[in-house]
Amino acid sequence: MARLALLSVTDKTGLIEFAYSLVKEFNFEIISSGGTVKTLQAANIPVIKVSDYTGSPEILGGRVKTLHPRIHGGILARPDVPQDITDLENNQIRPFDLVVVNLYPFEETIADPNITVAQAIEQIDIGGPAMLRASAKNFAHLTVLCNPKYYNTYLEELRQNNGEASLTFRQKMAGETFALTNAYDQAIASYFASLSPNSDDVLPTRFSLAGTEVQSLRYGENPHQQATWYQTGTSASGWAGATKLQGKELSYNNLVDLEAARRIIAEFDPKEPAAAILKHTNPCGAALGTTLAEAYERAFNADPISAFGGIVALNQPIDAATAIALSKTFLECIVAPSCDPDAETIFKAKSNLRVLVLSDLISGPKQTVKVIAGGFLVQASDDFSDDPNTWQIVTEKQPTSEELEELTFAWKIAKHVKSNAIVITKNKTTLGVGAGQMNRVGSVKIALLQAKDAANGGYLASDGFFPFDDSVKTAAAAGIGAIIQPGGSLKDKDSIKAANELGLVMVLTGIRHFLH
Ligand SMILES: NC(=O)c1ncn([C@@H]2O[C@H](COP(=O)(O)O)[C@@H](O)[C@H]2O)c1NC=O
């Protein structure tokens, strides 16, 4: 008797060619649900309707098509279990050799903002996941294919193994299938969470992270670490949706730094040219300018030594002048919302340089995730938008409006520097960055060392409060004129007293921005 395949697919890509090979080359009989039957019949491929096979019509507008013991019995039966064979015989059930299912496009449906909840719910596939999960469970006896991309691999398996798919392949397909049904359900769960009146509740009691491979990376942080890049959701968004205009393959570290760079320039209004140069997730230079080229040059000149091999994010389209400036040094990657044709031509001379275009550099993830032994930690992203109207000026000396703007710039950068973070700025340009030190005054010293004499009359931002007045005194000795920090230390009074005695402005934000 011919072998039996069950085909029930929404995405009919490659279906006809595949079914043709199954029937002509491998003598399969095919059973299919309504729409799949129509596609196959239109191509003159012999097919049996599920409803004819089960004797039960499709009902409830397609909500019940394949949910029948003759289908699920044929999927789940074990030919090496005598009772299973008896059950099949007693119920006139034929076992399946192959199950091919892909699902209703739930994620694509909800991506349309005009879709109603009722329409979204009709796109939750029930029969499909049931068949997929049952088939994956019984991979020892049949093959499940959940994506058209595996059709040819399956046919090759049959060609190379005397008409049988190998156990290794069947097991791999089963794993892929459970990963798919998991991701599918996760998308539905996230959609339901988004319907909750408390829609900013990003931390449900059960949290899953599902992803699809974008590309396998050459290695992770170091060459001995394997790494792969996954995208969340079915449509490419964020970095998965960026276009690489030229350059070498993106690396793990490139992507980590690109995201850190994106977060910095997302702080600024896209009308105001901004540039950030990142090294190891910290900015070695960040600046605003009247033109994009000026913003980049200021950021570069902040620390030209560290900028070598850096990752650059820009918040406006790259023009020729900026491209010329960018081409003067070795950079790993550049990203901007778009790139003028003149600029593209200029970059061609540096064929290894990775140039990416990502139109939306503002939107980022709502949560961040860190894996720890036995679990992972999820937190809401630090997208708190600081409001200078809520800040407290605690010194006798009051800032002018320009000074307040400078402090705001310094504060926005400090938010994206690893703690303990100290940022020294002037003219909306970083002069020195102290990152990731174990004591705050250590970061102050590093930032001042970088800023050199330019620190005189500069501004200093600290991501956390000062536990002692030593940082204020060190900053004042180098000529810093104004400090912005969260406040909240038991010894705030000491720091404020030192600021007053040394003639500094001090602003407390009431919010800290640790970054680990
Ligand atoms: N309800 C069922 O019994 C059922 N059985 C199969 N499906 C889905 O129906 C789709 C195929 O439908 P059609 O062959 O009618 O185009 C597949 O995506 C499959 O996952 C079902 N649909 C939804 O739950």
For the CA atoms of the chain, what is the radius of gyration?
A: 30
Which atom number of ligand 1 is nearest to the Cα of residue 63? 1
Tell me the C-alpha distance between 144 and 403, whole Å.
Answer: 65
Which of these is catalytic: 172, 280, 350, 397? 280
* Average pLDDT rounded to a whole number, residues 244-259: 98
Condensed to tens digits (0 to 9), the pLDDT of residues 383-435 reads 888 999 999 999 999 999 999 999 999 999 999 999 999 999 999 999 999 99
- Are 136 and 14 in the same domain? yes
- Are 95 and 190 in the same domain? yes
Q: Which of 194, 224, 254 is the last residue in one of the domains?
A: 194
Q: Which pLDDT belongs to residue 312?
A: 98
In this predicted structure, the answer to whether residue 2 has a pLDDT above a threshold of 90 is: no
- Are 341 and 402 in the same domain? no
Ligand 1 site, residue 64, Cβ cutoff 6 A? yes
For residue 3, what are the contacts with CB-CB under 8 A and spacing of at least 6?
A: 26, 27, 28, 29, 97, 98
Q: Is residue 207 part of a domain?
A: no
Q: Is residue 175 part of a domain?
A: yes
Residue to probe by mutation, ligand 1, list 65, 101, 106, 107, most atoms within 8 Å of CB: 65
* Average pLDDT rounded to a whole number, residues 452-461: 97
What residues does 228 pair with on adjacent strands?
A: 216
Ligand 1 site, residue 184, Cβ cutoff 6 A? no
Q: Is residue 221 part of a domain?
A: no
Of 1 and 515, the structure prediction assigns the larger pLDDT to 515
Reduced to 3 states (helix: H, G, I; strand: E, B; else coil), residue 225 is coil
Domain holding 321: CATH number? 3.40.140.20
Domain encompassing residue 316: 240-357
Residue to probe by mutation, ligand 1, list 38, 63, 104, most atoms within 8 Å of CB: 104
* Rounded distance from Cα 80 to ligand 1 centre (Å): 30
Q: Is residue 375 part of a domain?
A: no
Q: Which of 165, 194, 223 is the last residue in one of the domains?
A: 194
Tell which residue, 495, 496, 509, has the closest CA to residue 412. Answer: 509
- Are 348 and 396 in the same domain? no
Residue type present at position 430: T
Q: Is residue 216 part of a domain?
A: no
* Rounded distance from Cα 198 to ligand 1 centre (Å): 33
How many domains, in total, are found in the chain?
A: 3
- Are 409 and 330 in the same domain? no
Condensed to tens digits (0 to 9), the pLDDT of residues 88-145 reads 999 999 999 999 999 999 998 998 889 999 999 999 999 999 999 999 999 999 999 9
Condensed to tens digits (0 to 9), the pLDDT of residues 295-327 reads 999 999 999 999 999 999 999 999 999 999 999
Q: Which pLDDT belongs to residue 87?
A: 94
In this predicted structure, the answer to whether residue 379 has a pLDDT above a threshold of 70 is: yes
Tell me the C-alpha distance between 86 and 514, whole Å.
Answer: 66
- Are 333 and 449 in the same domain? no
Task: Give the confidence band of 353 by pLDDT, cuts at 50, 70, 90.
Answer: very high
Residue type present at position 80: D
Q: Is residue 341 part of a domain?
A: yes
In this predicted structure, the answer to whether residue 1 has a pLDDT above a threshold of 80 is: no
- Are 36 and 157 in the same domain? yes
Q: Which pLDDT belongs to residue 201?
A: 66
Task: Give the confidence band of 506 by pLDDT, cuts at 50, 70, 90.
Answer: very high
Torsion 353-415-481-389 (CA) sign = positive
Which of these is catalytic: 137, 248, 350, 397? 137
Ligand 1 site, residue 147, Cβ cutoff 6 A? no
Q: What rounded mean pLDDT belongs to the chain?
A: 95
Domain holding 45: CATH number? 3.40.50.1380
In this predicted structure, the answer to whether residue 199 has a pLDDT above a threshold of 80 is: no
Q: Which pLDDT belongs to residue 366?
A: 85
Tokens of 163: 């008409």
Q: Is residue 82 part of a domain?
A: yes
Q: Is residue 449 part of a domain?
A: yes
Whose alpha carbon is nearest atom 13 of ligand 1?
35
* Rounded distance from Cα 125 to ligand 1 centre (Å): 7
- Are 39 and 164 in the same domain? yes
In this predicted structure, the answer to whether residue 235 has a pLDDT above a threshold of 80 is: no
- Are 402 and 292 in the same domain? no
Angle between helical axes of 34-42 and 15-26 (0-180°, round to 10): 70
Angle between helical axes of 69-76 and 82-90 (0-180°, round to 10): 160
* Average pLDDT rounded to a whole number, residues 282-286: 98
Q: Is 328 a catalytic residue?
A: no
- Are 352 and 449 in the same domain? no
Which atom number of ligand 1 is nearest to the Cα of residue 34? 15
Exposed / middle / buried, residue 327 (Cβ in 10 Å: 0-12, 13-18, 19+): middle
pTM above 0.90, yes or no: no
- Are 10 and 159 in the same domain? yes
Q: Which of 171, 194, 217 is the last residue in one of the domains?
A: 194
Task: Give the confidence band of 196 by pLDDT, cuts at 50, 70, 90.
Answer: confident
Task: Give the confidence band of 256 by pLDDT, cuts at 50, 70, 90.
Answer: very high
- Are 403 and 492 in the same domain? yes
Condensed to tens digits (0 to 9), the pLDDT of residues 143-163 reads 999 999 999 999 999 999 999
Which atom number of ligand 1 is nearest to the Cα of residue 37? 14
Highest mean pLDDT among 109-118, 188-197, 218-227 belongs to 218-227
Q: Is 516 a catalytic residue?
A: no
Q: Which pLDDT belongs to residue 263?
A: 97
Which atom number of ligand 1 is nearest to the Cα of residue 129? 20
